[in-house]
Amino acid sequence: MHNKINISEIFYSIQGESSYAGFPCVFIRLSGCNLRCTYCDADYTWQDGETEYIDTVIDTIEHYPCDLIEVTGGEPLFQENCLELLSRLILRKKTVLLESNGSFSIENVPLEVIVILDVKCPDSGSKDSLHPDNVRLIKDRIDKIPNSCELKFVLSSRTDYLYAKDFIHKNTLINTLPILFSPVQKGLAADTLADWIMEDGLNVRLQLQLHTILWPGISRGV
C-alpha cells in the first residue's frame, strides 16, 4: 500500500508540552485543520503543505537519533491517512504521541498511541468542538492502558479556567489521567494561573511551552 499524506513540516526538537516535556522528540506536523482558534500559533498549517508517501515520511524520521515521535497539526485526524501513519510508526517500535484538537473521534487510534487531547475553552472560539464520544473513549483507553491519554486545556482567561475546572469535575476526570493547564502566551499570566490552581488545590499540571522559553520568537521548526 502506498498511501500519501499532506505534511506541513518535519523537525527535531525538544518536546515542549505534555508529560513528555523536556525529551528530544521528532515532530511530524500534518497540514489542515477544521477549527480556527483565536490564539492559533500554527495557522500556516491551514494551507496545504507537501504531499508525501507515508513510506517517505517513515524514512525521513528514521534519520533522527530519537524514538519519540509526535504527530501534530493542524489537526492530524483531519486527514484519514493519519491512522495509517500512526500504525506504521508503532510497527517501527516508536513511542508515538498524537496531539489532537479533540473534534474527531479517537476510536480508531491505535491503543499504543499516547493521545494528548485538547478540550477547547470558550475564549478559543472553538468551544463545544469536542467529539461527543471522546470522553467515554478516553476513559475506555485509560482503563485498558493507563497513561495512554492526557487532557490539555489552553486558557486565555478566568472564564476559561472555570470552564476547564467544571469540565474535569463534571466528567469525573480528576486523578484519572494527566491534566494539563496551559496559559495562552501573551493572554494569561502564568503566575496568575498558578495562583488559581493553588487556591483551588486542583490536581492538574501547570504547563509552560518549553520550546518558547528555549527559542523565543521562533514559531516554526521548534
- Is 70 strand, coil or helix? strand
Given the complex with ligand SF4, which of 36 and 169 has the nearer CB atom? 36
Measured from the CB atom, the residue of 45 and 134 that comes closer to ligand SF4 is 45
**Which residues make up the interface to ligand SF4 (CB under 6 A)?**
33, 35-37, 40, 42, 45, 73-75, 101
Tell me whether residue 16 or residue 73 sits nearer to ligand SF4 (CB atom).
Answer: 73
**Closest approach of Cβ 185 to ligand SF4, in Å?**
12
Could you list the beta-strand ranges (E) of the chain. 4-14, 24-30, 50-53, 68-72, 95-100, 114-118, 149-155, 179-183, 205-206
How many residues in the chain? 222
> Cα(43)–Cα(214) distance, rounded to whole angstroms?
21
Q: How far is the CB of 45 from ligand SF4 (least distance, A)?
A: 6
Q: How far is the CB of 2 from ligand SF4 (least distance, A)?
A: 28
Closest distance of CB 72 from ligand SF4, Å:
8
Say which amino acid occupies 104.
Answer: F
Helix axes 54-61, 82-91, angle to 10 degrees: 40
Pick the closer one to ligand SF4 by CB: 35 or 149: 35
Q: Which is nearer to ligand SF4, 118 or 149 (CB)?
A: 118
Cβ neighbour number for residue 199 with a 10 Å cutoff? 8
Cell of 4: 500519501
Minimum CB separation of residue 34 from ligand SF4 in Å reads 7
